[in-house]
Amino acid sequence: MSQERNISGFVLRKLHSLAGIIPLGLFLAFHLLANGAVLLSPLHYLVVIQTMMNLPGLVFLEIFIIFLPLLLHALMGMYIVVTGRNNPHKYGYFRNWMFFFQRLSGVIIFIFLIWHLFSIKFGGLDAPSMIYALQGQISSPFGMILYIATMLSVSFHFCNGLWGFAINWGILSGMRAQKYFGYICIVLFVILAFFWLSVMFGFVA
């Protein structure tokens, strides 16, 4: 029974990391570029959103490329949060803290997505109304705090998850390669966090 549990846990983590990078990593990049249009002007963002809403097969893409992988990743992530064991206060080494913040950021993202989907995506809003709704959310004190926390969490969760994906799938086997790829992921986190926060403040500028 213990061996079967270890095998199932190993497979679970493999699928969890895979779902987090492919296709959700691709969706994150696309979402980042689409929302980045607001840095040019609200009109550019409006054109991008309207174009996306008129894409052929949009429902199919949203279900099988976004929602199902996201649901799979989120449910497995919540299971890992509940069953995972780490003690950053007792074992205060770097990777233990990364384990803790990976799970914490996942919970923050999960809470945000529920709120964001029901207030924006499933709110029955057209493209112009989405802009006003986002501006209203980000301008409120609660919304500002939640959006900042989520932008930082998304950036960290993906970059730290990318490092874990490379380890779990045997892409980086040597300690030296893992160390330097960790530096790359830190730089990527700074870049993503800066861009996401810039996009967020672009809605209320």
pTM reported for the whole predicted model: 0.86
State the pLDDT at residue 56. Answer: 84
- What percentage of the chain exceeds 70 in pLDDT? 90
- Contact present, 165 and 21 (Cβ < 8 Å): yes
For the chain, what is the mean pLDDT? Answer: 84
pLDDT, tens digit, for every residue of 62-103?
888 788 888 888 888 877 777 766 555 555 577 778 888 988
Amino acid at 121: K
Q: CATH topology for 2-202?
A: 3 helical TM bundles of succinate and fumarate reductases (1.20.1300)
Question: Which residue stretches of the chain are H helix?
Answer: 2-21, 24-35, 42-53, 58-61, 68-83, 94-116, 127-139, 141-168, 175-202
C-alpha 9/C-alpha 6 separation (Å) is 5
pLDDT, tens digit, for every residue of 122-175?
777 777 888 888 889 999 999 999 999 999 999 999 999 999 899 888 888 788
State the pLDDT at residue 88. Answer: 53
The three-state (H, E, C) secondary structure of 146-169, written as one string? HHHHHHHHHHHHHHHHHHHHHHHC
pLDDT, tens digit, for every residue of 31-53?
888 889 989 888 888 888 888 88
State the pLDDT at residue 138. Answer: 92
**Domain boundaries of the chain, sorted by first residue:** 2-202
If DSSP codes are grouped into helix, strand and coil, which group holds residue 86?
coil
